[in-house]
Amino acid sequence: MEKLVINGGRRLYGSLEIQRAKNAVLPLLAASVMTDERVRLRNLPKISDVENMLHILRELGCRITREGCDAVIDSSNAASHEIPAVMTKEIRSSIFMLGSVLTRFHRAKISYPGGCDIGIRPIDLHLSGLKKLGVQIVEENGYIDCRVERLTGAEVVLDFPSVGATENIMLAAVKAEGRTILRNAAKEPEIVDLQNFLNRMGARVQGAGTADVVIDGVEVLRGVDYVPMGDRIEAGTFLIAAAVCGGEIETHGVAAENLAALLHKLRENGCKIHTKNDTIYLSSNGRLKSVDVVDTSPFPGFPTDLQAQYATLSALSKGTTLVVENLFETRFKYAGELRRMGADITVRGRTAVIRGVAALRGASITAGDLRGGAALAIAGLAAQGTTEVLDLSHVDRGYDGLERKLRLLGASVRRIKI
Ligand code: UD1
């Protein structure tokens, strides 16, 4: 076990290269199994979700070569359609493997997926979409067993624009016979990245980033050498940290339009923000005023993956903020830990009422999920005294070198084995 030890109260200054996006890389890795040719993914973040996904690919029989931060995936000898149960428990994104493994083997078997404990997280939309493409699904003993003789294009209407279901159905449809029209698709930038990647492999996908994604099936996909998009959630996390602590930082590698909802709020809080191409510049005097309401919603709305970090900011802003979580049922678990540091937060169901306080005090707190853990680290950076954030395994799922990057910005942060 490891913990972060943070001496709070320092301003953050400097410039940061943002990692490639976890939520883009995971579906790209799943897609790699659909070609016999080699796929090179460049500059992958060193995070456990990526390592676990690579492990799943190895279990399917793919050869993975690491060259610096790149991974080269050779699926020509992939032989298994069964995604090992121990890995699905670790990483929810293994569910994307259904679409791509089906394309490859006409069969896919997976146990019910895990991931962050932030709500019920059903997969009914994934399964009903796959059924529309002709897949027969048997669910028993905690396993989902899918078979299909020939994937066939169809019109699929999602009841809700689920990111994962959109990606899974896109993967299943790229080599299906005929045209698939996916309506009410998720519009997240990572879907656009997946479309770009698939088209570079020879697929015919259009419309990603809008509510209608159209996929015309092709017979063969080829290898590709690809740099995934930048991680908007990592960039947002650092911008929020600098806003609360005060200071001046610049992030490189994420377009401002992918963070528009957050930047809008940060300006209202009193931060100065300039953007140019893939650079976002923020300066803050550390004395923020609250916004009234933050409502999470699918892109381009305020991202649920920044809700916890933004709640920490609200806890130290002047005034009261209502935070409404519309995507996941139990995404306020960090609130109890923030309260131990002196935050004034009341949670009722999917709503948190946060009354800003003048200061937080250092404490020993435990990260319960990935983004909640980042929120607690931000609280420690802004608090008076020393904060220990315990159980870094969640944070390590998604942040590559969080403490190293914070130190670069001038924070006093150490990782210690316990
Ligand atoms: C992805 C992101 C995650 C982010 C989330 C919402 C990845 C690897 N993860 O997760 O970081 O927090 O989008 O932006 O990209 N739902 C159903 N049935 C389904 C699928 C989803 O009811 O079959 C519901 C979920 O319970 C949730 C909502 O839809 O309430 C959104 O989930 P979804 O967009 O699917 O999120 P993920 O793809 O799991």
**Alpha-carbon span 298 to 300, nearest angstrom:** 6
Map residue 234 onto helix, strand or coil: helix
Band of residue 84 on the pLDDT scale cut at 50, 70, 90: confident
Q: What is the pLDDT of residues 191-243, one digit of tens each?
A: 999 999 999 999 999 999 999 999 999 999 999 999 999 999 999 999 999 99
Spell out a b/e string for 139-151, using b for 16 or more CB atoms within 10 Å of the CB, else e: eeeeebbbbbeeb
Q: What is the pLDDT of residues 248-293, one digit of tens each?
A: 999 999 999 999 999 999 999 999 999 999 999 999 999 999 999 9
Tell me the sheet residues that pair with 74: 38, 63
Residue 179's H or E segment, with its range, is strand 179-183
304 pocket-lining for ligand 1 (C-beta < 6 Å): yes
Report yes or no on whether pTM surpasses 0.95: yes
Tell me which residue of 389, 301, 315 sits closest to 352, measured CA to CA: 315
Map residue 274 onto helix, strand or coil: strand
Q: What is the pLDDT of residues 101-144, one digit of tens each?
A: 999 999 999 987 655 555 556 889 999 999 999 999 998 887 88
Nearest-CA residue for ligand 1 atom 31 is: 162
Band of residue 344 on the pLDDT scale cut at 50, 70, 90: very high
> Which residues have C-beta within 8 Å of that of residue 208, sequence separation ≥ 6?
170, 185, 191, 192, 194, 195
165 pocket-lining for ligand 1 (C-beta < 6 Å): yes
Domains belonging to the chain, first-starting first, are 2-19+230-417 (3.65.10.10), 22-226 (3.65.10.10)
pLDDT recorded at residue 92:
75
- Dihedrals phi, psi of 169, to nearest 5 degrees: -70, -35
Residue 224's H or E segment, with its range, is strand 224-226
In the reported structure, the alpha carbon of residue 84 is separated from the centroid of ligand 1 by a whole-number distance in angstroms of 22
Band of residue 69 on the pLDDT scale cut at 50, 70, 90: very high
Structure-token match 């435990």, residue found: 366
Distances (CA, A) of 156 to 58, 100, 102, 128, 166: 31, 17, 17, 9, 10
Gap between the terminal Cα atoms of the chain: 6
Distances (CA, A) of 117 to 28, 88, 340, 409, 415: 24, 14, 21, 31, 24
29, 327, 370, 394: which to mutate for ligand 1, most atoms within 8 A of CB?
Answer: 327
